[in-house]
Amino acid sequence: MTTSKRRQRAPCLIACLAAVLFAASEARAWDNGVALTPPMGWNSWNKFGCNVSEDLIKSMADGMVASGMKDAGYEYVVIDDCWQVSRDGDGNIVPDAPRFPSGMKALADYIHSKGLKF
């Protein structure tokens, strides 16, 4: 591109950039109560990696409630990885039974009973 063409495009580029910046400053969030904070919770991987179990996850849920994290808005309990061992013939994930002897439904029910999401 020649120097004269660059000089001709410069005002257009500046005007376009100004329009984008102005539009961005005018952006407003909907006041509908959705996502007023980012999703807040606890994730097993950050501390325990693959060393997870039913008892550990229950104790973390209990700790979230007892420590006041739940009251502060933390609501999710996430088992990141290593809770499953395979898939069944229908493609459903099979939990690790020795680590989660009561099953995932029972663990989910326990976490939900604490007012948390699983």
Instruction: Record the tokens describing residue 78, joined without a space.
Output: 């996430």
- Structural domains of the chain, count: 1
On whether residue 19 sits in a domain, the answer given is no
On whether residue 78 sits in a domain, the answer given is yes
Which tens digit of pLDDT belongs to each residue from 34-84? 877 888 999 999 999 999 999 999 999 999 999 999 999 999 999 999 999
On whether residue 118 sits in a domain, the answer given is no
pLDDT at 89: 97
On whether residue 105 sits in a domain, the answer given is yes
Question: Can you give the residue range of the structural domain that contains 59?
Answer: 41-113
Contact status, residue 116 vs residue 72, Cβ threshold 8 Å = no
pTM for this predicted structure? 0.70
On whether residue 49 sits in a domain, the answer given is yes
On whether residue 30 sits in a domain, the answer given is no
On whether residue 17 sits in a domain, the answer given is no
On whether residue 5 sits in a domain, the answer given is no
